[in-house]
DNA sequence: GCGACGCTTTAGATCGATCTAATTAGGTTG
DNA sequence: CAACCTAATTAGATCGATCTAAAGCGTCGC
């Protein structure tokens, strides 16, 4: 019924051509803005399109021309605000290029990612922006190359033979650690969570590096749960026991938000008794009080960068692989403060 | 080069059929899991598909069968966490139905929404989930019907002749106001922002209604800016001057997050000197301290509902229009507290 | 032995655009 | 006036699947 209806009143290029008194081929040229048609013919055809309410049929065009003006975006997580901002950046650029985003969520599960990439191929996307699920290996990139499916890796990198847009986490981490040490902190913890991937490893390595460079012990790396509420409940890991410290660098702002809440619950005054440095500086971080010191990683810009890489590659498939590594920037606010001595801070308020 | 490459090594159904020693038609039946083929033929064809690395070509199928297994989602804003959760819900259901989401962002701009809907039509989506931009009128729904493009309205409603999934904002608002009045508050403000649309109007009307029902003055409706940081800076509107009140209901959690920060900056202790009720209860609200009392509107569930409505309609186009109006639920936490008298709260700490 | 019937398979048309190669019209040139 | 060129247009094949209508084949009943 539906398809009958659709078929019936669908206006095709042939209808337009007839109405304008030209051939299908000419009408097609007009649509594609070819310079080969005369101005008057063009006008006639455009008028006919108006009159009949013609709608271009990508599906048909794609079949013949083998391009769909569609790109696939595979993201491991839709709820994390970081990815949302990333997505917003991607969408802006892709839209401006006259293309459209097919969005899927891998949930950071390899098997699912595999399924979804097949689905993308079936849908004939012109290219893919992928934030690889943890555990993805290089062979994926090779396979995509065999399939002639242009790929941009974003945030996480599994191969150098392929475009990549991401963040210089090492640099960001050094800024964070330097900042805390300059404030006099020596017991600095690193609160991590989530699946292990290149961007994870990069941050951990850089933390070790930065700490050792300052002659500090980088051993205090603590895993927290993934859910916001559960993170809050593990704040005690940092204020007492073997993980006790005077400050924490957070893997991302989700961790920072959680710990901020958890520390509040413990009666610890952030920015006085304890210092907290976030990572990403997402929009929501602005609502935190005391204001969160955070390493801004500019997710929107990264998204725009990734999309631009892809658009460029579609235009010139033979380009050498490029990297777009954005330098993060530490935003110092209220949640990090000068170290107040062994007896100054925590002991007073904790518990 | 690219397209050459793609063309060259693309395996078609015809290749599969030949390799399996059957006809194109039979191979097609196998793919579509038709019960008409014998088990051995099916096995042969499936084997051939394996051997050759066949990938289904939706584009071709769509052209003939006039369905794309693709749906369009038009959202006014990607950064607001509410929409992100909504999107996550939609994605889950659509994915489970074997379809794929084409995501676009209208920015709440009518003209853009128009462009995007055309683009959706060109891409041949099977249906659209739309959160109509402010100012959209009923005629849009009629036009979509003419185009035979199934539509589900989500969150905002412009027509009753069309499926709709949303929230019973009125009920939520009554819960919020009732809660505050039961705590003894009489000066209750409503902090609004953003574009004016049905869901906006619904909340405003319900606020008036609820206040009048309790014999209170519903005149204190105050607009705040859209950006989080700017919202924080307008917190003073509620603590002093003509808008001064003892409690605020927030249009959504973005406003609540902003005001929470702003009140903190003013030295007002939320949950003691001043009460705050949010709306939506998005995930990030969990990170707020004191914990935010908020009217949960279950965006993920709404998204799932909207997608389900659409999937059902695709299966049965002649269904009467349905409404899925979810009842929100007040979650009482720390940010709302008993009224402490005219001289109790604000005067002590404000300024 | 013949038609009927169920089960399986298939040839060929078809969807709506693009692309190739050829055609037409009109002007220029030797 | 023929040869040639340029600009504009077009017929017809093509992309890779689906769908229709019909055919092949084995069995059954009469």
pLDDT for B293 equals 97
pLDDT for the residue numbered A8: 57
HSE at residue B262, side-chain half, CA atoms within 13 A, is 23
Distance A65 CA to C28 C1' (A): 38
A122 contacts B283? CB cut-off 8 A:
no
At B285 the pLDDT is 85
| CATH assignment of A169-298+331-349, among 3.30.70.1060, 3.40.50.2020, 3.30.70.1150, 3.40.50.2300 | 3.40.50.2300
Q: Is A229 on the interface with B (CB under 8 A)?
A: yes
Q: Distance between CA A262 and CA A81 in Å, rounded?
A: 20
Whether B348 has a pLDDT exceeding 50, the answer reads no
Asked if the domains A70-166+299-326 and A169-298+331-349 are classified in one and the same CATH topology, the answer is yes
Residue B19 reports pLDDT greater than 70:
yes
Measure the CA–CA gap between A193 and A204, rounded to whole angstroms.
11
Mean pLDDT of B50-54: 96
- The distance from CA A299 to its chain's CA centroid, rounded to whole angstroms, is 6
Close Cβ partners of B323 (under 8 Å, ≥ 6 residues apart): B163, B164, B165, B166
pLDDT-based confidence at residue B3 (cuts at 50, 70, 90): very low
Nearest CA in chain A to B11: A147
- Strand B100-105: give its sheet, edge to edge: A323-326, A163-167, A151-154, A127-130, A70-75, A100-105, B100-105, B70-75, B127-130, B151-154, B163-167, B323-326
Q: Does domain A70-166+299-326 have CATH number 1.25.40.10?
A: no
Strand C: which residues 6-25 of B lie within 7 A (CB)? 22-25
| DSSP state letter for B184 | T
Rounded to an integer, what distance in angstroms lies between the CA atom of residue A222 and that of residue A200? 13
Handedness of CA B22, B26, B32, B34 (dihedral sign): negative
Model pLDDT, residue A2: 35
| CA distance linking residue B242 with residue B52, whole number of Å | 75
Residue ranges of the domains in chain A? 2-56, 70-166+299-326, 169-298+331-349
pLDDT in the model for residue A342: 62
Instruction: Please check whether residue A177 is in contact with residue A207, taking contact to mean a CB–CB distance below 8 angstroms.
Output: yes
CA of B52 to C1' of D24 (A): 29
pLDDT in tens, B84-102: 999 999 999 999 999 999 9
Mean pLDDT of B252-258: 96
What DSSP element (H or E) covers B296? strand B293-296
Q: Which of residues 112-151 of A touch strand D (CB under 7 A)?
A: none
Strand segments, DSSP code E, in B39-162 are 70-75, 100-105, 127-130, 151-154
Q: So what's the pLDDT on residue B183?
A: 97
B124-148: per-residue pLDDT in tens?
Answer: 999 999 999 999 999 999 999 999 9
Three state DSSP letters for B235-284: CHHHHCHHHCCCEEEECCHHHHHHHHHHHHHCCCCECCCEEEEEEECCHH
Pick the CATH number of A2-56 from 3.40.50.620, 3.30.230.10, 1.10.260.40, 3.10.20.30: 1.10.260.40
In the predicted model, residues of chain A with pLDDT beneath 70 are 1-8, 342-351
What per-residue confidence (pLDDT) applies to B9? 73
Please give the Cα distance from B344 to B107 (Å, whole number).
Answer: 43
Chain B touched by A79 (CB under 8 Å): yes
Residue B6 DSSP class: H
Buried b or exposed e, range A162-198, using 16+ CB within 10 angstroms = bbbbbbebbbbbbbbbebbbebebebbbbbbbbeebb
A94 secondary structure, DSSP code: H
- CA A11 from chain centre, in angstroms, equals 40
Q: Percent of chain B having pLDDT more than 70?
A: 95
B59 inside 8 A of chain A by CB: yes
pLDDT band of residue B286 (cuts 50, 70, 90) is confident
How far apart, in whole angstroms, are the C-alpha atoms of residue A82 and residue A17?
Answer: 49
Query: Rounded to whole angstroms, how far apart are CA atoms A102 and B121?
Result: 15
Cross-chain residue pair B84–A85, CB shorter than 8 Å? no
Helix, strand, coil percentages, rounded to 5, for chain B: 45, 15, 35
Closest chain A residue to B260, measured at CA? A287
> Counting beta carbons within 10 angstroms of the beta carbon of residue A155, is it exposed (0 to 12), middle (13 to 18) or buried (19 or more)?
buried
| Start-to-end C-alpha separation, chain A | 68
Please determine, for residue B346, whether its predicted confidence score (pLDDT) is greater than 70.
Answer: no
Instruction: List Cα–Cα distances, A230 to A221, A330, A350, in angstroms.
Output: 17, 27, 19
Question: Residue B66: which of A6, A66, A150 has the nearest Cβ?
Answer: A6
- What Å value separates CA A17 and C1' C21? 21
Give yes or no for residue B347 having a pLDDT over 80: no
Give CA–CA dist B171/B176, Å, rounded: 9
Does residue A22 lie within 7 Å of nucleic acid chain D, judged by its CB? yes
- Is any atom of strand D within 7 angstroms of residue A68's beta carbon? no
- Element (DSSP H or E) covering residue A49: helix A39-52
CB within 8 Å: A88 and B105:
yes
Q: A331, exposed or middle or buried, with CB in 10 Å at 0-12, 13-18, 19+?
A: middle
Q: Does A90 touch chain B (CB under 8 A)?
A: no
Average pLDDT over chain B reads 93
- Residues 163 to 202 of B: which have CB under 8 A from any A CB? none
Distance (Å) from the alpha carbon of B71 to chain A's nearest alpha carbon: 10
Tens digits of per-residue pLDDT, A128-175? 999 999 999 999 999 999 999 999 999 999 999 999 999 999 999 999
Per-residue pLDDT band at B8 (split at 50, 70, 90): low
Tell me the residues of chain B between 243 and 272 that have a Cβ less than 8 Å away from chain A.
257-258, 260-261, 264-265
Decide: B185 and B210 in contact? Cβ < 8 Å: no
Cross-chain residue pair A260–B284, CB shorter than 8 Å = no
Mark the nucleotides of strand D covered by protein, meaning any atom under 7 Å from a CB. Answer: 7-12, 14-21
Mean pLDDT of B194-217: 97
What is the average pLDDT across B320-346? 87
């Amino acid at each position: 019924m539906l398809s009958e209806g659709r078929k019936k009143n669908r206006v095709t290029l042939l209808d337009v051509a007839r109405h304008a008194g030209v051939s299908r081929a000419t009408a097609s040229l007009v649509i594609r803005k070819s310079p080969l048609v005369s101005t008057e013919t063009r006008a006639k055809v455009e008028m006919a399109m108006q009159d009949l309410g013609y709608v271009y049929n990508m599906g048909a065009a794609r079949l013949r021309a083998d391009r769909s003006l569609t790109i696939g975006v595979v993201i491991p997580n839709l709820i994390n605000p970081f990815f949302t901002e990333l997505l917003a950046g991607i969408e802006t650029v892709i839209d401006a290029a006259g293309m459209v985003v097919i969005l899927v969520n891998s949930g950071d599960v390899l098997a699912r990612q595999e399924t979804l990439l097949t689905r993308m191929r079936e849908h004939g996307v012109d290219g893919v922006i992928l934030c690889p699920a943890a555990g993805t290996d290089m062979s994926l990139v090779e396979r995509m190359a065999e399939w002639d499916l242009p790929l941009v890796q974003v945030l996480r990198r599994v191969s150098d033979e392929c475009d990549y847009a991401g963040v210089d986490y090492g640099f960001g981490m050094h800024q964070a650690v330097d900042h805390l040490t300059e404030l006099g902190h020596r017991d600095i913890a690193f609160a991590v969570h989530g699946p292990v991937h290149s961007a994870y490893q990069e941050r951990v390595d850089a933390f070790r590096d930065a700490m050792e460079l300052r002659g500090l012990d980088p051993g205090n790396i603590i895993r927290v749960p993934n859910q916001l509420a559960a993170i809050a409940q593990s704040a005690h890991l940092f204020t007492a026991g073997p993980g006790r410290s005077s400050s924490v660098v957070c893997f991302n702002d989700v961790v920072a938000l959680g710990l901020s809440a958890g520390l509040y619950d413990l009666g610890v005054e952030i920015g006085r008794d304890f210092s907290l440095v976030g990572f990403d500086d997402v929009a929501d971080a602005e609502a935190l009080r005391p204001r969160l010191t955070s390493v801004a990683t500019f997710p929107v810009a990264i998204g725009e960068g990734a999309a631009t890489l892809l658009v460029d590659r579609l235009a010139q498939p033979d380009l050498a692989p490029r990297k777009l590594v954005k330098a993060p920037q530490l935003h110092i606010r209220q949640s990090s403060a000068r170290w107040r001595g062994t007896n100054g801070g925590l002991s007073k308020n904790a518990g």
